[in-house]
Amino acid sequence: MADIQSLSDGRLSASQQKAYWDDGYLFPLPVMPAKEAVALRAELEALEDTWRDNGLPLPLNTYKRVNAHCVLPLAHRIGADPRILDVVEGILGPDILIYGVEFFIKEPNTRARVSMHQDLTYWGLGAIDGLVTAWLALSPATPASGCMDFVQGSHKQAILPHADTDDPDNLLSRGQEVQVDVPDDQRVPIEIHPGQISLHHGLTIHGSGPNTTDDRRIAAVIRYCTPDVAQQVADKDYAILARGADRAGNFIHFAPPITPFTPASLALYDEIRTAQAKATMAGTANNKGLYA
C-alpha cells in the first residue's frame, strides 16, 4: 500500500505537483475524516432507497453514473468541497470548473469491471492537460474490491486507439478498451480508503477489476477542468464554476440543484446528455444506450 501523502495546509507541495505531472496520477491524498466519507455514503444510500423505484424517467443508475451533479445536490456538494478544490488547485490553478460528478459503484461479489482506457478518448475535449479526475473513496478501494489500476507515465502519450467491446460486465458506456497491451506488472493498484482521493490525468491509462468482497465499492468521481478547455466535437457543453472565474466562456454554466430530481434539473439532464452524446457516442455501433 502506498504511503499517505501529507498535505500542507490542505494543499499540494511542489514535489507532489511534480509527481502528478511525472506519473499522471497522485494518491492517496487525505481530504476529509473517514467518518465524514462514511456519512456521505449513508446519504447516497438513503437517496438510492428513496429514488430506486420512484418513477424517474431513466434508471436511477444512469443519473448516478454520469452528470449526477446536475440532479443530486449531494453530488454537487462533494464536487464543490473546498478541501478537494484546494488540492485540485495545485494541478489546475485558481480557475476550476466542475465538468462532471459520477458515483462509480461496484456491488459486492460481482463481475463488474472497467476496461483499460483513457478518459479523454470520447469526451470531445481533445488531448489536454487541463482536466483532472478526483476519485473520492466512500468505501475501501483495494485490489480485492476492484480499485483502479493506473499505468505510470501513460498520460504522456496521445489519445491511443480504443475499440468498443460488448462485455456486459464492463461499466463503461461503450465498453471501450485501449488497443495496447498492458502487462500486469505495469498496473499500479490505487488502494485508497474512505476520505482519501486519488488524482488522475485525463490521458492516464487506467481500469479496474471486479469486487470480490462482501461490501459495496463506492466512489464519488469528480472531473474538474480549466475554463480554457473546450468542446470540439459536440455542438455545446456544460459545466459549473467551482472556484475563480471563467474568462473563456467555452461552457454553458448551470446552477447546481437545490433538491434531488426536480423537473427542471431532469430536463437539463436530458439536454446535457443529448448534447454530450454527439461526442461520447461518436462512431459507436453500441446500442446499450448512452451511459447504460
Q: Minimum Å distance from CB 198 to ligand AKG?
A: 9
Separation CA 110–CA 101 (nearest Å)? 23
CB of 204 to ligand AKG, least distance (A): 9
The residue at minimum Cβ distance from ligand AKG is: 208
Is 198 among the residues that bind ligand AKG (CB under 6 A)?
no
In the complex, the smallest distance separating the C-beta of residue 113 from ligand AKG, rounded to whole angstroms, is 8
- The secondary structure of residue 95, as a DSSP letter, is -
Per CB under 6 A, 104 contacts ligand AKG: yes
Q: Which of residues 233-272 bind ligand AKG (CB under 6 A)?
A: none
By CB under 6 A, the count of residues binding ligand AKG is 10
* Shortest distance, position 208 Cβ to ligand AKG, whole Å: 3
Q: Is position 99 an interface residue for ligand AKG (rule: CB under 6 A)?
A: no
State in angstroms the smallest separation of the CB of 202 from ligand AKG.
Answer: 9
* Residue 221 contacts ligand AKG per CB under 6 A: yes
Q: Does 178 bind ligand AKG (CB under 6 A)?
A: no
CA gap 92, 281 in Å, rounded: 27
3 state SS of 206:
strand
Biggest CA pair distance of the chain: 50
> Closer to ligand AKG at the Cβ: 117 or 273?
117
Least distance in Å: CB of 116 to ligand AKG? 9
Can you tell me which of 133, 170, 211, 280 binds ligand AKG, judged by CB under 6 A? 133
By CB under 6 A, is residue 208 in contact with ligand AKG? yes
- The single-letter DSSP state of residue 227 is T
d(CA 5, CA 55): 43
Phi (first) and psi of residue 273, to 5 degrees: -60, -45
> Which three cell numbers mark 45?
444510500
Rg (CA), the chain: 18
Q: Which helix (H) or strand (E) holds 47?
A: helix 34-51
Smallest distance, Å, CB 189 to ligand AKG? 12
Cβ-contact 182, 205 below 8 angstroms:
yes
Q: Is the peptide bond before 28 cis (omega within 30 degrees of 0)?
A: yes
Q: Quick one: cell of 136?
A: 473520492
Name which position in 74, 136, 148, 220 contacts ligand AKG (CB under 6 A): 148
Q: Which is nearer to ligand AKG, 123 or 269 (CB)?
A: 123
Q: How far is the CB of 57 from ligand AKG (least distance, A)?
A: 25
Q: Residue 251 phi/psi, 5° resolution?
A: -120, 150
**Contact call for residue 114 and ligand AKG (CB under 6 A):** yes
Q: Are 122 and 273 in contact (CB under 8 A)?
A: no
DSSP H or E stretch at residue 188: strand 188-189
25 binds ligand AKG (CB under 6 A): no
* Interacting residue ranges for ligand AKG, rule: CB under 6 A: 104, 114, 119, 133, 135, 148, 206, 208, 219, 221
